[in-house]
Amino acid sequence: MGSEEVKLLGAWASPFVHRVEWALKLKGIVYEDVEENLFNKSPLLLKYNPIHTKVPVLLHAGKSISESLVIIEYIDETWKQNPILPEDPFERANARFWAKFVDEEFMEAIRQALISEGEQQEKEVKQAIEALEIIEGELKSKQKFFGGEKIGFVDIVLGWVTAWLEVVEEVAGIKVFDSQKFPSFNNWMENFVETPIIKDKLPSRDKLVLYFHKIREFSLASPTIK
Amino acid sequence: MGSEEVKLLGAWASPFVHRVEWALKLKGIVYEDVEENLFNKSPLLLKYNPIHTKVPVLLHAGKSISESLVIIEYIDETWKQNPILPEDPFERANARFWAKFVDEEFMEAIRQALISEGEQQEKEVKQAIEALEIIEGELKSKQKFFGGEKIGFVDIVLGWVTAWLEVVEEVAGIKVFDSQKFPSFNNWMENFVETPIIKDKLPSRDKLVLYFHKIREFSLASPTIK
């Protein structure tokens, strides 16, 4: 690898990968996109993320970084233009708190709802709705974005909902979002998808539906994968 | 609250609280320790961490911060002496990666093993041992600590093992650690507990055993709490 070359090991259907792509676009970083097949992982992925063998992996200056939140912080610390995290320590802590909340309380419940059924799935849907109520409460006091007038850390972390949530609802036969019940969240989604760097980097809905049907069927058939 | 006053809502038996205390001690910050009873939470805790109602919560300059990893980063960004995270962005990313690994792959398995039995517990123990093998591999290439010659972010995050792991093993009737199998980890633990600020801030083993017996009994009797 050239000393400053940037490569991203990704997968088109992964919301975690899209976070990193959005962060790179926001910074105006040119990178090479290396598409992984998650059903048949490449030697490159096994080499650069041997512990989790998951995408995304960022390769930069001969080094590799894994875990989407960790990668976004790396990008923000390496390229200073268009800051993703705020400058003030308390605001930074707040952004990290909400990013963690989104991942652990909301996204994980949606992921589990996708690959479960019956009582287990109902429990996950309930958890997701409760998390969304808390996010709605937080968004009420915000301007356009969590990051204020511009997209920031929490916006990037939560951004998957704009393309993936409806797809998971359809594939898993569940209902989590309701624009009447979550008006601030609805506004936030509209603002998010209207942002040029985002609009250009959202996957096709139809392709996602097919792909997530496959994930759901595969997971229900082999429950130990969860 | 005075503008620069530091308070920590904590609980003597919580490894998450100890992380924050170690970070504050490392920085030489004077703080007031407010002990919470987790079986009967105070209005202060409900006010300052309404979402999770968990300790630790750091109160500083009229603001509250929750989640131990988030608090440690806040401490490191607010008081610059004795850095906890390295300066280089790649090294910082690496430290954050391992902190996440410790929490999600190792500590969570130990926590689940404490409050489960039978097949479920066996699964958690297996997961914990696999995580420990990976940590052992990483420690082989290190000097005294993850942070080099001095205690850093990952050391603080992993530090609970030195007092809590043996206690959980006893209370839950499991075996995870073996000094023959994990010599680098064993050395690291010895170095860690010999550090003055740590030695003074470890809870009593006997008290921990009693407390965790209570947690285990309580959790097994009310499985939905998990």
Q: Do A73 and B96 touch (CB under 8 A)?
A: yes
Section A186-196 average pLDDT: 95
Quote the CA–CA distance of A85 and A91 in Å, as a whole number: 8
Nearest C-alpha in A relative to B64: A90
Confidence at residue B226, expressed as pLDDT on a 0 to 100 scale: 47
Quote the CA–CA distance of A52 and A45 in Å, as a whole number: 10
Q: What is the CA angle A62-A66-A70, rounded to 5?
A: 110
Q: Which residue has the tokens 């390229």?
A: A79
Quote the CA–CA distance of A192 and B135 in Å, as a whole number: 39
pLDDT at B2 over 80: no
Confidence at residue A39, expressed as pLDDT on a 0 to 100 scale: 84
Q: Do A73 and B92 touch (CB under 8 A)?
A: yes
Confidence at residue B1, expressed as pLDDT on a 0 to 100 scale: 45
What mean pLDDT, rounded, does chain B reach?
94
Confidence at residue A1, expressed as pLDDT on a 0 to 100 scale: 44
The end-to-end CA distance of chain A, in Å, is 35
B contacts of A79 (beta carbons < 8 Å): none
Q: Do A90 and B51 touch (CB under 8 A)?
A: no
Q: Do A89 and B74 touch (CB under 8 A)?
A: yes
Burial A10-34 (b: 16+ CB within 10 A, else e): bbebbbbbbbbbbbbbbbeeebeeb
Rounded to whole angstroms, what are the CA distances from B114 to A33, B161, B162, B169, B212? Answer: 43, 14, 16, 8, 8
Nearest C-alpha in B relative to A138: B51
Section B94-123 average pLDDT: 97
What mean pLDDT, rounded, does chain A reach?
94
Confidence at residue B110, expressed as pLDDT on a 0 to 100 scale: 98
DSSP annotation of B224 reads G
Model confidence pLDDT, tens digit, residues B129-149: 999 999 999 999 888 999 899
Quote the CA–CA distance of A38 and B99 in Å, as a whole number: 25
Confidence at residue A4, expressed as pLDDT on a 0 to 100 scale: 82
The end-to-end CA distance of chain B, in Å, is 35
DSSP annotation of A148 reads B
Nearest C-alpha in A relative to B71: A93
pLDDT at A175 over 80: yes
pLDDT at B95 over 60: yes
Bridge partners (DSSP) listed for residue A9: A34, A57
Phi/psi at A41 (nearest 5 deg)? -70, 145
Quote the CA–CA distance of A72 and A197 in Å, as a whole number: 16
Interface test with A, best of B57, B70, B132, B225 (most A CBs within 10 A): B70
Domain boundaries, chain B: 6-78, 89-225
B14 to chain A, closest Cα gap in Å? 19
Confidence at residue A224, expressed as pLDDT on a 0 to 100 scale: 60
The two tokens of residue B40 are 């009967």
Domain B89-225 indexed as CATH 3.20.20.70: no
Section A158-168 average pLDDT: 97
Cβ proximity of A6 and A32 under 8 Å: yes
Quote the CA–CA distance of B10 and B16 in Å, as a whole number: 9
Model confidence pLDDT, tens digit, residues B64-82: 999 999 999 999 999 999 9
Q: What is the CA angle A142-A102-B17, rounded to 5?
A: 100
Confidence at residue A212, expressed as pLDDT on a 0 to 100 scale: 96
Q: Do B93 and A71 touch (CB under 8 A)?
A: yes
Cβ proximity of A33 and A51 under 8 Å: no
Bridge partners (DSSP) listed for residue B7: B32, B59
CATH number of the structural domain A6-78: 3.40.30.10
CA nearest neighbour of A21 among A45, A57, A62: A57
Q: Which residue has the tokens 């063998």?
A: A53
Q: Do domains A6-78 and A89-225 have the same CATH topology?
A: no
**Helical H runs in A102-182?**
108-114, 118-139, 153-158, 166-172
Quote the CA–CA distance of B164 and B15 in Å, as a whole number: 8
Cβ proximity of B23 and B76 under 8 Å: yes
pLDDT at A201 over 90: no
Nearest C-alpha in B relative to A224: B123
Model confidence pLDDT, tens digit, residues B159-191: 999 999 999 999 999 999 999 999 999 999 999
